[in-house]
A and B are shown apart, each in its own frame.
Chain A
Amino acid sequence: MTDPLPDEDSPSTSPSRMERLTAVRPRLLSFARLHLRDSAQAEDAVQEALMAAIEKDASFAGRSGYETWVFGILKYKILDMMRAQKRQGVWQPLEEEGDDDSIERQFQSSGRWQQHARPASWGEPHTVFENERFWQVFDACMIALPDNVARVFSLRELMGLSTAEICQEIGIKENNCWVILHRARLRLRSCLESGWLKGETL
């Protein structure tokens, strides 16, 4: 055991685990950013999660993979910080209703698709997912979403919470949650289609 310890505070984290943390960090950061909608807070969340992983290294039971364990810690931190954001009144009111213009623009008054907004084929999912440009546009489209809409969508589709859990987490009615998710999906599909498929600048 002549390896230098990576950090005084982390006597039990092996160098290879430190490397794995360094490697996964950028991905954790972009994940946190999508939820918290704030780069500085995302940095904090990831920092805290990594610190916790290092401190609690001994408690990693190895039942799941190491990255999965660290990711679990980060998810917990993100939820914690989202609750704090909500408490501190950082969020716009979530209950606001009414029509969403960017959705209304996709439909005629009859409820049919507008000609220009008609969904086109995106091709096979596995081909889509291999396309780097798709992910760039996806990221840009997520950032373009209104904050609250993006938060609910991220909790549902990126964090994998059920709508019932989201209601509890952020204190909205489930009905409201479904309305917000419907809007998020319509906005995202439209944004992705013009930005990625048609190559328009976002």
Chain B
Amino acid sequence: MMMCKGATQLMSLKQDRALTLQERMSLRLHLMMCDPCRQCDKQFALLHEAGERMQHDILGDDAAKD
């Protein structure tokens, strides 16, 4: 049974490569039962989006024109 710490490994990995079917299943199972990890999962996704945001903000209006 995967614990929270192991689940965060998969949540992090998910931002960097596609998870295998088995990884996806065990993460999904854990997230179904664990609210703090669901929050963590959202936070990792938000961090990823923050990086994209920052690049966009650097470009300002320019990014909209791309």
Contacts and interface: CB of A to CB of B under 8 A. Distances in A.
Interface of A: 23-24, 27-28, 31, 64-68, 71, 107, 110-113, 118-122, 125, 128-129, 138, 156-158, 160, 162-163, 177-178, 181-182, 185-186, 188-189, 192-193
A167 B66 CA distance: 29
Contacts of A71: 55, 58-59
A119 B16 contact: no
A23 B62 CA distance: 12
Nearest to A20: B62
Chain B binding site: helix, strand, loop or mixed by DSSP? helix
Contacts of B13: 178, 182
Given A160-B55, A182-B8, 7 more contacts: A24-B60, A68-B62, A68-B63, A129-B49, A157-B47, A181-B12, A181-B16
16 contacts: A23-B60, A107-B4, A111-B3, A111-B4, A111-B5, A112-B4, A112-B5, A113-B4, A119-B43, A129-B49, A138-B50, A160-B51, A163-B17, A181-B16, A186-B12, A189-B44
B29 interface: no
Contacts of B40: 119, 189
Given A68-B66, A111-B5, A112-B3, A185 B47 contact: yes
A18 to B, nearest CB: 16
A28 B54 CA distance: 10
Interface in B20-38: 36-37
Nearest to B16: A163
Contacts of A24: 58-60
